[in-house]
Amino acid sequence: MGKQLRVDPVACAGHGACAELLPELVTLDEWGYAIVADQPVPRGLVREARRAVAGCPALALALRRVA
């Protein structure tokens, strides 16, 4: 049981805050839209992940429980 970052592609407007706050798990495509790593958030990055979720101006990022 872990947590994974999910981006709502409709809400994502390419602000790029997530990639600045959490470069370990988020990169941007060449148009500036977030690409989140398809892996559970490592324990050591959960705090940063929460910060990235809170820092998204479009509220497009979420932490979801994965089995």
Partner 1 sequence: MTGSLTVPNPPVTAAPPGRGGDLPRLLPASGAAPVGLRQHLDAYGALPTARSPGRLLREVAAAGLTGRGGAGFPTARKLAAAAEARPAPLVVGNGAEGEPASSKDSSLLWISPHLVLDGLQLAAEVIGSPAAVLYVRRNQRLHAGLAGAIAERAAAGIGAARVDLVQAPDRFLAGEESAVVSRLTGRPALPAYRPVRGLPRLAPGRAALVQNVETLAHLALIARYGAAWFRNAGTAAEPGTMLVTLRLADGRTSVAEVPLGTGIAGLLGLEPAAGHLAGASVPSAAGPVQAVLAGGYHGAWLPAAEAAHLLMAGAALRPLGASAGAGVLAALPADRCGLAETARVARYLALESAGQCGPCFNGLPRIAAALEHLAGPRPDHRARADLKRWAGQVTGRGACHHPDGSVRFIRSALRVFAGEAGLHEQGRCCGTDPRPFLPVPAARPASDADWS
The binding site for partner 1 (CB under 8 A) comprises 6, 8-14, 29-33, 35, 62, 64
Backbone angles phi, psi at 56, to 5 degrees: -80, 115
How far, in whole angstroms, is CA 67 from its chain's centroid? 18
Give 25 or 44: the residue with its C-beta nearer to partner 1: 25
Determine the Cα–Cα distance for residues 25 and 42; give it in Å rounded to an integer.
10
Check if the beta carbon of residue 65 is closer than 8 Å to that of residue 49: no
**Nearest distance in Å: CB 59, partner 1:** 12
Q: How far is the CB of 37 from partner 1 (least distance, A)?
A: 13
Q: Which of 44/64 has CB closer to partner 1?
A: 64
